[in-house]
Structure 1
Amino acid sequence: MLRARTSLLLASAAMLAVAGCTEQMGGLNDPNNPRRNTQQGALIGAGLGAIAGAALGNDAEERRANAAAGALIGGGAGALVGNELDKQAAELRNSVGNSQIDVRNTGDRLIVTLPQNILFATDSAQVSSSIQGDLRAVAGNLSQYPNQTIQVIGHTDNTGDASYNYDLSQRRAQSVSGILVANGVSSGRIQAIGRGEDQPVASNLTPEGRQQNRRVEIVILPNA
């Protein structure tokens, strides 16, 4: 128990040191900071590396050294991931033509959000022909980054029966996945997931909120 607590404290100290460095480089909370996601990736990687390093070693001094080394190695790897995601996000934004498609970099993944109104008719899982060109562009981008796992996640609002909504969201995720696969993305990289009404991003009490909740997300996860 004491060793685990010591390892956690050492990892926390290493993370704080890296966080201080990244804050000096530009500010993690500044949305206009062009290196924000790279720095977030560095911080996430440093934390994981510090935790792994702090768990190794026979005494406190050795664990402290391992935590620092783990933070440096993990931070460097995380920064590379964050930088590559920034690059990929910019490429995706330039390749899709529909302004309603949102590309967001969280620091450790990309989330491409496609609202239902540009993808499907009401109660349908057949992808609209007008959006298939953009999905082909997304597939082309994903093919350039083969070391990633792709989750295609369908979401609905809470109108109607929950089990029906779950099934509809699953079928919609599978339809979008099928287009990506048909345009060159390996099926082994893709997971089609239906969430139904379980993960809203807005209130279902208003028409505007329900519209935001009806969506498909393409989540792009770099492999470790």
Structure 2
Amino acid sequence: MHQQIPIRRGQGFVCRQTPSPAHAGNITPSHYAMELNDVFGDAIYTCRLQLRRIRETDLPLLLTWSNCQEAFGPYLTPERQNAERLKEQFATNLFWNRHDKTLLIETRNPVRPIGTIHYWLKPDQLGCAVVAVKIATAEQRGCGYGTEAQKFLIIQLFDQVGVTQVEMYTDIDNKAQQRCLAKLGFSVDRSLTYGDHGVTRTGHLYRLTRKAFQRAAIYRYHYE
């Protein structure tokens, strides 16, 4: 049985509303530069998760994750940040600015941080968002949290920010993420090598266009 649900933001609910073709055709780069809190507040709430803006009190946890291979798993490279650099990034809004935002992923019951999801608009193509997700607690992998986080961020990117496509990169051996992206309506654009914090990886570039987003049932319904 399909149950259609609204997407909740910090104050009340935001129901999905797909822009009309005429509206989508008139979107200008300034629309893509909207502040995230102008669009859906400081958090996105799903049935099981909240994706929220990073606070200064989160920095010690991010530092721990940044230097822990287990937090990144076998297909991502640790960033190896230091405390001073993280504080500088936070102070200069590198986690939350017009074109680039990182959100902490937390379970809602109980409230527990389990990872991050990050998107940025390509400088030469502001209508294209690149998304990266990390479930940092190994015991929470395989529970569908990554899929859920990606799904609801993608909905906001298309319906509220107004992007025309979303891209994601994944290691060629990361079969779980590849299955997730297929479920979310992505298709393989091409195979390539890419840099990951000093490590050269072979992988796939996946792309979700607005047309594919609009026809994918997973974005119209929540499956209980």
TM superposition score category, shorter chain reference: 0.3 to 0.5
| More strand by percentage | 2
The structure having more radius of gyration, on CA atoms, is: 1
By relative contact order (CA 8 Å, sep 6+), the higher-ranking structure is 2
TM-score, reference length from structure 2: 0.35
TM-score, reference length from structure 1: 0.35
